[in-house]
Structure 1
Amino acid sequence: MSTTVAEPRAWCVVVPHHARGAHVARHRLADELDSLISADRLDDAIAIAAELVGNAVRHAAPLPGDVIRVAWRLLPDDTLEIRVTDGGSSVGPQLRVAGPDSLDGRGLTIVAALSTGWGVERDGLGQCVWATL
């Protein structure tokens, strides 16, 4: 009797360090995952990716080439991991409390609410903000 181990499925897209980068990332993620996860979970994944890319555009430097790297993988245990890598910033990502009239400051709060976990990793290239669901 043999046992088959499912391999993770992974994707990566490099998007402009610009507001349209979130648009590109959302559509690519939706196209790749549409038939692999439920519609509700896909909606959450799209929202998380959009928030993370939007935060990278607003608050972080780009990677060389004026880009942001967006990667996601579907693990054998059905965990979806989304990773957004940028050139980093002097102040790391952190949850903020936004007032009812605030125009911004809700991005990571949305990510935290929709995900099972999130965090930040730094290396010599910049920083990666990740979320799982």
Structure 2
Amino acid sequence: MSTVLTERSWCVMVPHDAQGARSARHRLATELTGVVPAALLADVEMVAAELLGNAVRHAEPLPGGLIRLAWSLRPGPPADVVEIRVTDGGATAPPQLRRVGPEAIDGRGLFLVAALTARWGVERDGLGQSVWARLAHPAGRELAPVG
């Protein structure tokens, strides 16, 4: 018997604060547990944590004091892709990689995002600013059926 994977997506709006970011990350993990391989899930959680943390620390909230976390799963081949997108009200400067010294206590988050993802970027629209990241896993390997 063969199983066909279908595209799947989801989003949540949470308060623009540390507790809201934590709640969004936990809901993401719950939704993807058993759907994607554990190694991919760990990377998705790490990237989501960095993007949500940056939104809380550096950006304005969306109207109503919220941030939005969305994800989608697109089955391959050649790769199964999870895209996550964090949307906030934007900041005065767009997110960018910054050089930090060995003694710095922060500033490495987007380097982690870049290292764990196939691609990442920033888009602005009428809603606000979205930072997105795509993580890929070879198609057909260890993915659970969707639906």
TM class by shorter chain equals over 0.9
The alignment status of 1:115 with 2:117, answered yes or no, reads yes
* TM-score (structure 2 length as normaliser): 0.84
In 2, Cα distance between equivalents of 1:42 and 1:48: 10
Partner of residue 70, structure 1? 69
Could you tell me which residue of structure 1 aligns to residue 144 of structure 2?
none
Paired letter, 1:120? V
Cα deviations by residue, 1:72-92 (Å, 9 ceiling, x for unpaired)? 000122100000000001100
- Structure 1 regions of 5+ residues with no counterpart? none
1:33 shift after superposition:
0.5
String of CA shifts for 1:19-78, please: whole Å, max 9, x gaps: 112211211111010111111110000000000000001110000010100000001221
Residue 32 of structure 2 is aligned to residue 33 of structure 1: yes
User: Which is worse superposed, 32-41 or 19-28?
Assistant: 19-28
SS at match of 2:87: strand
* Partner residue, 1:57: 56
Q: Count matched residues.
A: 129
After TM superposition, give the deviation of residue 6 of structure 1 in Å: 5.1
With a CA cutoff of 8 Å and minimum separation of 6, indicate the structure with the bigger relative contact order.
2
Q: Which residue in 1 is equivalent to 2:47?
A: 48
The equivalent residue for 2:22 is 23
| Separation (CA, whole Å) in 2 of partners of 1:118 and 1:85 | 14
Give structure 2 stretches of 5+ with no counterpart: 136-147
Return the alpha-carbon distance in structure 1 between the equivalents of residues 20 and 99 of structure 2: 26
Alpha-carbon distance in 2 for matches of 1:19, 1:129 = 18
The question of whether the paired residues in 2 share the 8 Å contact of 1:48 and 1:114 is answered with yes
Distance of 2:54 and 2:65 partners within structure 1 = 15
Secondary structure at the counterpart of residue 54 of structure 2 = helix
